[in-house]
RNA sequence: GCAGCCGUAGCUCAGCUGGUUAGAGCGCUAGAUUGUGGAUCUAGAGGUCCCCCGUUCGAUCCGGGGCGGCUGUACCA
């Protein structure tokens, strides 16, 4: 029990679902963004930035009310009492931007955008409350060529990020096909809207639960591992069979080509006008994929891709990683899609009252990065640490400053030690920083007009063979004395020996 | 949101049927070594035992509530 008066000490902790990114992670993300940007630029998209905060009503759907102002989005009230929200994706702000600037934009309007988005929901593996997305969208393009382009570009991005062909798949479906299926089994019309939503959500879970699980969800319901029960759609046995047959139709021996998949779907939903339209659209996309040489190893038609309800109106697609990801403990982690998109013809209409067809693709950069990190495929060490100039004499700081400046002017990443500890600690600091070279100028050196350069990379290797500390220190391994005037050249020589160019990048 | 498990130093964890000063390993800071990274030895710093309420003479331990974490599920714009 503390008897001292209470002093308030805030607990230092990052809010849940949010995280700090250290140097390696930030650099890794920047590199990922650069690679995606290159692909988007090559496809002819232009950058756009919009604000992170929007009026809540402009984002739509999640209008905060007094009781539950934070359902899904982070919202707060401005001075004038208007509700503001942190953007939860980059598409809704795009719709606002397009509506606001409609007359001045070239149409079709093609833009890419990256940035943080925020969602007030439960975090999970690779799922954060603040995360980075990288979107490309084409607005005012009615034909499915725009959708096909998104799929191919998505594949290009994943490969540009170092994911080999075959380790990912762009999975494509069409909401019109799903609507056709529902119509075919007698679930058309306004009265069945809720049931339709439940059926679509069940189909979406095929990947996770398999045919058996989906059939339970379509029927009476399903109990999960924790004993929690999910209510089913309550379909009849024949309806369940029809849906399950459709979901299974894109798989296995029947799916040797995309055309085959479309043929089997046409048999199931072709009688419905909307279903036939959806299949015609996918047929057209297939022709474009073929013309561009994007085979089944990159893009497939997939019956269980549904995506969010009440949003997409035509082709929908997502990119999935096909290999298993395991966490630190070796348990498999289910990562969800690392990119997704589709056609949304109604978003701009909210503002303008006229339909503006649009399609887009969004890469979940943070989630993809988390997956690559667990795979050990994230390149974390591509920037060389700075050369460290030791500061052994407080009265000679100007000399050290001069050395650092010379190195920097030569394009070498360098810093002088700015802490308050002695030489041993300074060496430890240089070591921990991963510095390739330590520059030492103490009394001894100054007397002779020389400086000591210590090759820390070489020294680290040599230390493995030296058992005795005294010998290790007295031997002063991997260090040379050189004239002060040759500082830059000699440091460069050591860096070159380790394949480092100027200390800025690894060779 | 719902369900299950969990919550003790920076990290990984001990801890007596509820009893006075809560421990270890690793890590951190420093000394041994007038100016040298690893190893070794030594010392030091670091804890409202998640929070609140209750039971009790007394709670890190028992009960209730809350918060947080993990897993499953729901949702995923």
With respect to residue A8, please indicate whether it lies within any of the assigned structural domains.
no
- CA of A498 and C1' of B56: distance in angstroms? 69
**A182 plus A240 within the same structural domain:** yes
Question: In this structure, is the CB of residue A440 within 7 Å of any atom belonging to strand B?
Answer: yes
Question: In this structure, is the CB of residue A244 within 7 Å of any atom belonging to strand B?
Answer: no
Q: What is the ipTM of this complex?
A: 0.80
Residues with Cβ within 8 Å of residue A50, at least 6 apart in sequence: A87, A90, A93, A94, A96, A97, A113
> Of A314, A343, A375, which residue constitutes the final position of a domain?
A375
SS3 A256: coil
SS3 A382: coil
Average pLDDT (A483-493) is: 96
CATH number at residue A283: 3.30.930.10
Question: In this structure, is the CB of residue A387 within 7 Å of any atom belonging to strand B?
Answer: no
With respect to residue A242, please indicate whether it lies within any of the assigned structural domains.
yes
User: Which is more confident, A60 or A232?
Assistant: A232
SS3 A252: helix
With respect to residue A100, please indicate whether it lies within any of the assigned structural domains.
yes
**A65 plus A150 within the same structural domain:** yes
Residue A136: pLDDT over 90: yes
**A371 plus A423 within the same structural domain:** no
What is residue A66's predicted lDDT score, i.e. its pLDDT?
A: 43
> Of A329, A355, A375, which residue constitutes the final position of a domain?
A375
What is residue A193's predicted lDDT score, i.e. its pLDDT?
A: 87
Residue A485: pLDDT over 90: yes
* Domain count within chain A: 2
Cα separation of A205 and A199, whole Å? 10
Residue A139: pLDDT over 50: yes
Return the half-sphere exposure (C-beta side, CA atoms, 13 A cut-off) of residue A432. 7
Residue A67: pLDDT over 60: no
* A138 closest CA partner among A101, A112, A158: A112
CB distance A115 to A366 below 8 Å:
no
Q: pLDDT-derived band of residue A307, with 50, 70 and 90 as boundaries? A: confident
With respect to residue A98, please indicate whether it lies within any of the assigned structural domains.
yes
Q: pLDDT-derived band of residue A3, with 50, 70 and 90 as boundaries? A: very low
- CA of A479 and C1' of B30: distance in angstroms? 26
Residues with Cβ within 8 Å of residue A233, at least 6 apart in sequence: A195, A198, A199, A202, A217, A218, A219
| Residue reference for tokens 């974390």 | A380
* A160 closest CA partner among A337, A368, A301, A384: A368
What is residue A248's predicted lDDT score, i.e. its pLDDT?
A: 86
Cα separation of A100 and A412, whole Å? 48
Question: In this structure, is the CB of residue A4 within 7 Å of any atom belonging to strand B?
Answer: no
SS3 A77: strand
Tens of pLDDT, residue by residue over A371-409, are 787 777 776 656 788 999 999 988 899 999 999 999 999
Residue A291: pLDDT over 70: yes
Centroid of chain to Cα A239: 38
Question: In this structure, is the CB of residue A119 within 7 Å of any atom belonging to strand B?
Answer: yes
Q: Listing from the earlier edge strand, what are the strands of the sheet with A75-77?
A: A53-55, A83-86, A75-77
Range of the domain at A394: 387-506
Residue A205: pLDDT over 50: yes
> Of A355, A375, A395, which residue constitutes the final position of a domain?
A375
Q: Determine whether A442 is exposed, middle or buried from the number of CB atoms within 10 Å of its CB (0-12, 13-18, 19+).
A: middle
Tens of pLDDT, residue by residue over A9-22, are 566 777 888 888 88
**A367 plus A424 within the same structural domain:** no
Residue A357: pLDDT over 90: yes
Question: In this structure, is the CB of residue A431 within 7 Å of any atom belonging to strand B?
Answer: yes
User: Which is more confident, A65 or A276?
Assistant: A276
For residue A475, how many other CB atoms are within 10 A of its CB? 12
For residue A390, how many other CB atoms are within 10 A of its CB? 22
**A371 plus A393 within the same structural domain:** no
Cα separation of A197 and A205, whole Å? 13
Question: In this structure, is the CB of residue A21 within 7 Å of any atom belonging to strand B?
Answer: no
Average pLDDT (A339-356) is: 91
- CA of A15 and C1' of B17: distance in angstroms? 40
């Amino acid at each position: 029990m503390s008897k001292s008066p209470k002093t308030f000490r805030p607990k230092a902790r990052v809010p849940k679902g949010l995280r700090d990114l250290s140097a390696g992670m930030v650099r890794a993300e920047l590199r990922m963004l650069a690679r995606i940007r290159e692909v988007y630029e090559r496809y002819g998209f232009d950058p756009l930035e919009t604000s992170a905060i929007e009026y809540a009503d402009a984002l739509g759907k999640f209008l905060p009310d007094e009781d539950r102002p934070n359902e899904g989005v982070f919202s707060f009230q401005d001075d004038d009492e208007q509700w503001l929200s942190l953007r939860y994706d980059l598409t809704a702000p795009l719709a606002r931007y397009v509506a606001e600037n409609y007359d001045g934009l070239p149409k079709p309007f093609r833009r890419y955008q990256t940035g943080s988005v925020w969602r007030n929901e439960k975090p999970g593996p690779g799922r954060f409350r603040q995360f980075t997305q990288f979107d490309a969208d084409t607005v005012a393009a009615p034909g499915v060529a725009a959708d096909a382009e998104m799929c191919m570009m998505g594949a290009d991005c994943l490969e540009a990020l170092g994911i080999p062909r075959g380790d990912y798949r762009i999975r494509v479906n069409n909401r019109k096909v799903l609507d056709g299926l529902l119509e075919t089994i007698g679930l058309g019309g306004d009265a069945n809207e809720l049931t339709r939503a439940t059926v679509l959500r069940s189909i979406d879970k095929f990947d996770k639960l398999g045919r058996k699980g989906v059939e339970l969800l379509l029927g009476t319901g399903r109990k999960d591992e924790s004993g929690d029960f999910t209510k089913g759609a309550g379909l009849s046995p024949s309806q369940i069979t029809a849906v399950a047959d459709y979901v299974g139709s894109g798989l296995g021996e029947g799916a040797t080509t995309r055309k085959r998949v479309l043929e089997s779907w046409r048999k199931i939903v072709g009688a419905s006008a909307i279903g036939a339209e959806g299949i015609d659209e996918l047929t057209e996309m297939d022709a474009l994929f073929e013309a561009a040489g994007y085979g089944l190893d990159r893009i497939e038609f997939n019956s269980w891709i549904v995506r969010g309800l009440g949003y997409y109106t035509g082709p929908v697609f997502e990119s999935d990683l096909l290999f298993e990801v395991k966490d630190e403990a070796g348990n498999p982690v289910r990562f969800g899609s690392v990119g997704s998109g589709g056609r949304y013809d109604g978003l701009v209409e909210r503002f303008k009252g006229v339909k503006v067809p649009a399609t887009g693709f969004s890469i979940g950069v943070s989630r993809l990065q988390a997956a690559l990190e667990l795979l050990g495929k994230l390149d974390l060490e591509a920037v060389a640490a700075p050369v460290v100039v030791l500061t052994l004499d407080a009265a000679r700081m100007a000399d050290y400053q001069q050395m650092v400046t010379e190195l920097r002017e030569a394009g070498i990443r360098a810093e002088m030690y700015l802490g308050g500890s002695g030489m041993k600690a300074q060496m430890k600091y240089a070591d921990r920083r991963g510095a390739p070279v330590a520059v030492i100028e103490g009394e001894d050196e100054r007397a002779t007009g020389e400086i000591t350069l210590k090759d820390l990379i070489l020294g680290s290797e040599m230390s493995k063979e030296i058992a005795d500390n005294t010998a290790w220190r007295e031997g002063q391994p991997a260090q040379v004395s050189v004239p002060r005037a040759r500082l830059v050249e000699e440091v460069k020589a050591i860096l070159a020996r380790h394949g480092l160019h100027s200390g800025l990048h690894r060779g």
